[in-house]
Amino acid sequence: MTGITKDHPRYESLITREKIVEGVNMGITSKQGLVAQGRGEAFDYILGEKTIESAAIAERAAVAYILLAKNPIISVNGNTGALVPDQLVSLADITGARLEVNLFHRSDARVHKITEHLKAHGAGVVLGGKGDKRLDLSHDRAIVDEEGIFSADVVLVPLEDGDRCQKLVEMGKTVITIDLNPLSRTSLTSTVTIVDNVTRALNNMIQFTKDMKGGSKDSLQAVIDAYDNDRVISDALYSMQEHLKNKAEEKGITWI
């Protein structure tokens, strides 16, 4: 890693960037993943690089869905594999969900590398290597495991692409996404849209699972019943606008 010191105002963001570059060097992350990260960084800056309250509400609803699911799957791509391997493994462990590698730019070698990387971070079984079913999509994200994403009732897909998200929803699945762009097709299609950085979102979800796991099924269902995804997306947009307005005023720029 380069000499980034903790007093740098963009410290977390720059460390995240370094991890993605390392992911590319290790053959885990695709070059296109670097560009996706850049887009995420821009939205995170506009959001204020923090978890907003509505995102925390979405994260709690996501945990409730996962804890009530019969076959919950956490989909892992090259970006999340590089950025948050420990958190993916922890979340799978405490919720009972299984990890499945699923890639847009798929090669057997990269699936294998990500699988081994997750195992080195403590994962047990990692699905995705069989690829024995296809979703009705024209790209490689269509390739899934029958016992995993294909038959899952709840799928957590951090950093999704809009096409697959839509397909999974059409198949009747509950789809939870983490995407810093509240207006992406992914965000607008999901059952639960978490507008937060994946690095913060997964840490929060691990903590919320610890808090909620002992609760009754009814209490988890009540969290789901009270959840309003349209409101969460609306609030993310409003929060971005407010953050920009405050920033502008702080710097003496008039907000018109």
Give residues in contact with ligand ATP (CB under 6 A).
Answer: 36-37, 39-40, 43, 159, 161-162, 178-181, 184-186, 197-198
Q: Least distance to ligand ATP from the beta carbon of 165, Å?
A: 7
CB nearer to ligand ATP: give 175 or 220: 175
* DSSP state letters, 35-74: HHHHHHHHHHHHHTSS--HHHHHHHHHHHHHHHH-SSEEE
CA distance 193 to 181: 10
User: Of 224, 210, 137, 135, nearest to 176 (Cα)?
Assistant: 224
Q: Least distance to ligand ATP from the beta carbon of 227, Å?
A: 20
Q: What tokens does 207 get? A: 């903590």
Q: Least distance to ligand ATP from the beta carbon of 192, Å?
A: 14
Q: Least distance to ligand ATP from the beta carbon of 226, Å?
A: 25
Asked whether 220 and 184 are in contact (CB, 8 A), the reply is: no
186 is in an annotated binding site: yes
39 is in an annotated binding site: yes
CB nearer to ligand ATP: give 23 or 128: 23
Asked whether 243 and 46 are in contact (CB, 8 A), the reply is: yes
181 is in an annotated binding site: yes
State which residue has the least CB distance to ligand ATP: 40
Q: Least distance to ligand ATP from the beta carbon of 75, Å?
A: 13
Q: Which residues contact residue 119 at a Cβ distance below 8 angstroms, ignoring those fewer than 6 apart?
A: 126
CA distance 87 to 254: 41
CB nearer to ligand ATP: give 196 or 220: 196
CB nearer to ligand ATP: give 11 or 255: 11
102 is in an annotated binding site: no
198 is in an annotated binding site: yes
203 is in an annotated binding site: no
CB nearer to ligand ATP: give 100 or 179: 179
Provide the H-helix boundaries in the chain.
Answer: 11-26, 31-47, 53-68, 78-83, 85-95, 108-120, 162-170, 185-189, 198-212, 217-225, 229-250
79 is in an annotated binding site: no
Q: Least distance to ligand ATP from the beta carbon of 194, Å?
A: 8
Binding-site members for ATP are 17, 39, 179-181, 185-186, 197-198
Cite the annotated binding site by residue number.
17, 39, 179-181, 185-186, 197-198
